[in-house]
Amino acid sequence: MLTHINEKGEAIMVDISEKAVTARTATAYARIRMQPAALAALLNADLKKGDGLAAARIAGILGAKKTSELIPLCHNIPLDKVTVTFEKEGDGALGIYVRAKCTYKTGVEMEAITGASVAALTVYDMCKAMGKDMVIEEIRLLEKTGGKSDYHDER
């Protein structure tokens, strides 16, 4: 049975009114690959537009907060915390990690994934003057806890 489709085949928002409130977390990851000079400028806050990591951090948090406005059938979740961190991966890539946390009736996977996506898009925007050949290579859920099941990416 599909949870987001009614008996007429119409898209619906799932009724979570009977679900238990539990602590829930999710961590998502995005990677953006770019020229080494662009990555160095990003990491040194030496971009023409300003501090790209600061902008991406704020964008990632805002993206997580606005998920229900962007993804049609997502519930508006009262987030308790969102963190955005960055990790240099070799000479030409940046890993972006977004962790979302709430105590609610439904999970925060989409909030973490949306936050990582928006942060990666913001890095692209902040760095594009140094080259438009950047590639957002990967966006994925790393882990989720709470609710009916936990998930941990084993890759």
Report the catalytic residues. 125
- Tokens read off for 48: 């023409």
- Residues 6, 59: Cα–Cα separation, whole Å: 34
H helix count then E strand count, the chain: 4, 5
Q: How far is CA 146 from CA 27, 71, 104, in A?
A: 12, 21, 10
> How many angstroms from the chain centroid is the CA of residue 103?
18
